[in-house]
Chain A
């Protein structure tokens, strides 16, 4: 008993509970606004985490991710517009149920499936993260370099339809990481005589610029979203009959969510659609899918809420973010001078413990806030988009200035916003660039350190078994991406020929 109490004591001594509730509430609101993705919702919070208790900061961001994944289903059901990409699968049956006058029931299924997904995801996070990080405890500079390369090799699966563009974005990220003092000699590189650039470009500026500012630049050209009817949206707990019907779909969602969450580059959107597809395949009521099936909401919602927890596993244990949201979460860790990876469990085991506790609280918070935040979310969705965008713009510039009370930082974030806008226009993915920015220092410093230690023997990278293993996996990742890429191109060409 005393051990349990000692384990739970941080809930009283640290502001974890407040952070979890605040994160979930903010996440629901952000997720409910179409166009504001979970990563943007989290990026907007980043400047506020400076000066926060480290545990509260990471719990706040991780809970926001969880809340946003659920929040995305609210407009998906009510106005047929997914608040997040992952909620796109929920639109199909969610909106059909709303048209049948069952909006409250659909919202209830979404909330309770999210709670199931979040709980299973948290169990998986606790069970899988530490063993994975224990393997990584015996890492040397060669292994860290190989780990960085493995992280970068994920770019292949994140690149979308064009692998070359993904690789280019990754290289640009590495170039951004090279700005500032050289990790070995301390010599200044690409600082253009500016003292503000001596310590490099902080990942937070890249994240806020790419995700939030570029969205603001894009927003005047995008149409306004529909209005929701608040009267239709009284959330109702699913009845026992519905529970009996949706639990297999929820189970499918959690299994798919676990697998997709730990797979870098897969993410909530793929998980949600896969879960939807599998739920339909195994359902006894296949014909109802697409026409308001409760299982069609339960499976994708359970899947994307599971992903919001399991996607943290590779980020926490190896320092490799596999999605936009976990990249922002990684940024939150870096702000607190916490380096995710094996050493985090040695040097800051308390923070990891607090994160687990906070994520546990976030499940309760989602249950409470799911009911309480429905009216404000609908009220916000119904505000004219222009005022919301204006407020978000004000929040971004004020938050960025608050980081180091520097106007230069606002300029840098605006610059990355322009870069993000250009990347959207030229259809370059963001995440490979973020990976380059956060992994660039690790790759370069460990590569050079390993060479110094081995008297410039390049064979050191294959003589270390861990490094060899990680590099082999990285090669397999890249080869797999190339093969998938070529297969997709071939299929596209065959289709084009058949059509012509």
Chain B
């Protein structure tokens, strides 16, 4: 197992341990009801919190033990390259997520057809910046096709945005 995977397990274990504590405290704060049974509404969530905490500690221990055993771990230079690649992938994913979030924000403002065209255009352009000439036609055709499928065929009302006030 490579060093980067072991580090990831350690980090994941720590994050989950913190989360399990927060979750347990939130579960313990669920008020008891007069109708409640012996387990109560917070009973199972508390058990989940404890189980997650124990498993997180096991994951941390596993990662530490495996790290000690990993004599032939990847050299530092290789680990640095992997870390840079991971960071790059995370940044690209964040941009994709940003496109999705922008869609959610813009949809009620500018309406479905324009926001979905922007989403298609932005995603296509971002994924492969080498062929931008096809981005605009694809976005327009794609948005039109989706409008026909969802609004005309499936009869699902999509937000019209400011266009409705202009009509």
Q: Is the CB of B52 within 8 A of A171?
A: yes
A386 at the interface (CB under 8 A from B): yes
Given the known interface contacts A178-B44, A221-B93, A414-B100, the answer about A190 and B26 at a Cβ–Cβ threshold of 8 Å is yes
* CB-contacts of B70-89 with A (<8 A): 71-72, 86, 88-89
Q: List chain A residues, Cβ under 8 A from B95.
A: 220
Q: Is the CB of A168 within 8 A of B52?
A: yes
Q: Is the CB of B104 within 8 A of A184?
A: no
State A338–B1 Cα separation when bound (angstroms): 44
A427 at the interface (CB under 8 A from B): yes
A493 at the interface (CB under 8 A from B): yes
Q: List chain A residues, Cβ under 8 A from B123.
A: 386, 389-390, 393-394
Distance in angstroms from B144 CB to nearest chain A CB is: 11
Distance in angstroms from B90 CB to nearest chain A CB is: 8
Closest to B12 in A: A426
Q: List chain A residues, Cβ under 8 A from B104.
A: 397, 407, 410-411, 414
Q: List chain A residues, Cβ under 8 A from B166.
A: none
A182 at the interface (CB under 8 A from B): yes
Closest to B122 in A: A390
State A394–B90 Cα separation when bound (angstroms): 21
Q: 1/0 per position for B20-61, CB-CB distance to A under 8 A? A: 000100110011010111111111110010011001101100
Closest to B156 in A: A402
Given the known interface contacts A164-B55, A175-B52, A390-B124, the answer about A493 and B30 at a Cβ–Cβ threshold of 8 Å is no
Distance in angstroms from A50 CB to nearest chain B CB is: 9
Q: 1/0 per position for A173-208, CB-CB distance to B under 8 A? A: 011001000101111011000000000000000000
Q: List chain A residues, Cβ under 8 A from B146.
A: 394-395, 398
A224 at the interface (CB under 8 A from B): yes
Q: List chain B residues, Cβ under 8 A from A499.
A: 72
Q: 1/0 per position for B132-167, CB-CB distance to A under 8 A? A: 001000110011001000100010111000000000
Distance in angstroms from A398 CB to nearest chain B CB is: 5
Given the known interface contacts A172-B52, A427-B5, the answer about A221 and B59 at a Cβ–Cβ threshold of 8 Å is no
Q: Is the CB of A447 within 8 A of B39?
A: yes
Q: 1/0 per position for A149-175, CB-CB distance to B under 8 A? A: 000000000000010110110011011
- Picked from B12, B108, B150, B157, the residue with its CB within 8 Å of the CB of A407 is B108
Q: Is the CB of B37 within 8 A of A448?
A: yes
Q: Is the CB of B119 within 8 A of A418?
A: no
State A197–B61 Cα separation when bound (angstroms): 35
Q: List chain A residues, Cβ under 8 A from B126.
A: 220, 386
B68 at the interface (CB under 8 A from A): no
Interface size counted on chain A using CB atoms at 8 A: 63
Given the known interface contacts A164-B62, A389-B127, the answer about A217 and B55 at a Cβ–Cβ threshold of 8 Å is no
Q: Is the CB of B16 within 8 A of A168?
A: yes
Closest to A224 in B: B128
Q: List chain B residues, Cβ under 8 A from A425.
A: 8, 86, 89-90
Given the known interface contacts A184-B36, A394-B142, the answer about A175 and B12 at a Cβ–Cβ threshold of 8 Å is no
Q: List chain B residues, Cβ under 8 A from A397.
A: 100, 103-104, 116, 119
Q: List chain A residues, Cβ under 8 A from B43.
A: 448
Q: Is the CB of B48 within 8 A of A184?
A: no
Q: Is the CB of B71 within 8 A of A182?
A: no
* CB-contacts of A459-500 with B (<8 A): 493, 496, 499-500
State A496–B2 Cα separation when bound (angstroms): 12
Q: Is the CB of A390 within 8 A of B69?
A: no
Given the known interface contacts A218-B93, A385-B127, the answer about A390 and B138 at a Cβ–Cβ threshold of 8 Å is yes
Distance in angstroms from B53 CB to nearest chain A CB is: 10
Q: Is the CB of B37 within 8 A of A168?
A: no
- Picked from B8, B100, B127, B156, the residue with its CB within 8 Å of the CB of A426 is B8
Q: List chain B residues, Cβ under 8 A from A427.
A: 5, 8
Given the known interface contacts A189-B30, A189-B45, the answer about A164 and B96 at a Cβ–Cβ threshold of 8 Å is no
Q: List chain B residues, Cβ under 8 A from A189.
A: 27, 30, 41-42, 45
Given the known interface contacts A175-B23, A216-B96, the answer about A185 and B120 at a Cβ–Cβ threshold of 8 Å is no
* CB-contacts of A417-440 with B (<8 A): 417-418, 421, 425-428
B97 at the interface (CB under 8 A from A): yes
Closest to A48 in B: B154
Closest to B125 in A: A386
Distance in angstroms from B111 CB to nearest chain A CB is: 13
Q: List chain A residues, Cβ under 8 A from B157.
A: 405
B64 at the interface (CB under 8 A from A): no
Q: List chain B residues, Cβ under 8 A from A190.
A: 26, 45
Q: Is the CB of B26 within 8 A of A393?
A: no
Distance in angstroms from B148 CB to nearest chain A CB is: 12
Q: Is the CB of A418 within 8 A of B39?
A: no
Closest to B49 in A: A175
State A292–B94 Cα separation when bound (angstroms): 43
Distance in angstroms from B55 CB to nearest chain A CB is: 5
Closest to A456 in B: B38
State A218–B97 Cα separation when bound (angstroms): 10
A99 at the interface (CB under 8 A from B): no
A444 at the interface (CB under 8 A from B): yes
Q: Which residues of A contact B (CB under 8 A)?
A: 48, 51, 162, 164-165, 167-168, 171-172, 174-175, 178, 182, 184-187, 189-190, 213, 216-221, 224, 384-387, 389-391, 393-395, 397-398, 401-402, 405, 407, 410-411, 414, 417-418, 421, 425-428, 444, 447-448, 451-452, 456, 493, 496, 499-500
30 contacting pairs across A/B (C-beta < 8 A)? A162-B62, A164-B55, A168-B59, A182-B33, A182-B41, A184-B35, A184-B37, A185-B35, A185-B37, A187-B31, A189-B45, A190-B45, A217-B93, A221-B93, A385-B127, A386-B126, A390-B119, A390-B123, A390-B138, A390-B139, A393-B96, A397-B119, A401-B158, A402-B154, A405-B157, A407-B104, A414-B101, A425-B90, A426-B8, A448-B44
What are the 5 closest A-B residue pairs judged by CB atoms, nearest first?
A: A386-B127, A386-B128, A182-B41, A390-B123, A217-B93
